[in-house]
Amino acid sequence: MLSHLDGHQKVVSGIALPAGLDKLYTGSKDETVRAWDTNSGQCMGVINLGGEVGCMISEGPWLFVGIPNVVKAWNTQTNYELSLTGPVGQVYAITGWVRWHISASSETSLSLFNSIASPIFQ
């Protein structure tokens, strides 16, 4: 093992390593996302979400985090933040595909977001 990253108070439920960045992001059932410096292993910041993290992905500079009833999206280069509403219940899965982002929630439903329709994602 190269390093041990301590900080979350509950199970880690999402990990994202955006391409080209020197930060690793982790999400947890403790309702936080942590940013870690990949060189030092130090926690660089904590985001309190107010809901358990069910999943997490990164796509380009964007970090997508599934929490109850919403997918949070952050541009890791500009710190721009969005709340993508539509999911009902805990979001357990997110995927990105060309121009779409799809989330699956605990209410047996899928939410589809058109990334191209929003110039924010470009």
Question: Average pLDDT by consecutive 10-residue portion of the chain (122 residues)?
Answer: 82 90 94 94 94 93 92 90 88 74 69 58 41
Calpha distance 35→44 (Å, rounded): 5
In this predicted structure, what is the pLDDT of residue 119?
43
Hunting for tokens 């009833």 — which residue is that? 69
In this predicted structure, what is the pLDDT of residue 24?
93
How many domains does the chain divide into? 1
In this predicted structure, what is the pLDDT of residue 115?
59
Token digits of residue 106: 């605990």
Does residue 53 belong to any structural domain of this protein?
yes
In this predicted structure, what is the pLDDT of residue 34?
97
In this predicted structure, what is the pLDDT of residue 112?
72
Does residue 84 belong to any structural domain of this protein?
yes
Does residue 6 belong to any structural domain of this protein?
no
Domain that holds residue 87: 12-121
List Cβ neighbours of 20 (8 Å cut-off, separation of 6 or more).
none
In this predicted structure, what is the pLDDT of residue 99?
60
CATH number of the domain residue 114 falls in: 2.130.10.10
